Amino acid sequence: MLDTIGLLANLSLPLSERFRFGLAASAYRNRGVGVGGDRPAGNLTNASIRPSIGYDIDESWRVSASYQFRWQEYNGIPGDAVSNAVFLNLSWKRPWDL
C-alpha cells in the first residue's frame, strides 16, 4: 500500500504575440506501508522543475524548447539521483473542431 502526497504547478506567460514562457514544477512523496501498517516498506521522494520557451509559427504550428532538472531520493538506496534533460518540441493543433 502507498500513501502519496503530490504538488504540481504550471505557469504560462505570453511574452509577445508569438512568444510564450512556461514554467512547470512538481514534487511528490510515496510512502510505503508494510504489513500491519506500522513498518515502512520504502519511501520515494521526487522533485522536478521545467522552464520552457515557445514560439507560434502560425495558428496551428508551435516550436518550443525546454530544460528539465529532476531530483529523486529512495530510502532503500544511499544517496540521491539527479538528472538533466533538454527537449525540442514541434507541435500541431488542428484548426477545426470535431
Which pLDDT score, from 0 to 100, does residue 36 have?
62
Is residue 98 in a domain?
no
Q: Work out the number of other CB atoms within 10 angstroms of the CB of residue 49.
A: 15
Predicted confidence (pLDDT) per residue in 25-77, tens digit: 999 998 877 666 555 567 889 999 999 999 999 989 999 999 999 999 988 77
Which pLDDT score, from 0 to 100, does residue 79 have?
80
Residue of 60, 73, 65, 76 whose CA lies nearest to 20? 65
Which pLDDT score, from 0 to 100, does residue 34 have?
67
Could you list the residue range(s) of the whole structural domain that residue 39 is in? Answer: 2-92
Asked if 14 contacts 22 with a C-beta cutoff of 8 angstroms, the reply is no
Q: What is the pTM of this model?
A: 0.77
**42: phi > 0 → left, psi -120 to 50 → alpha, else beta; which?**
left
Q: What is the DSSP-derived secondary structure letter of residue 43?
A: E
Residue of 39, 33, 67 whose CA lies nearest to 52? 67
Is residue 78 in a domain?
yes
Is residue 97 in a domain?
no
Is residue 47 in a domain?
yes
Number of domains the chain contains: 1
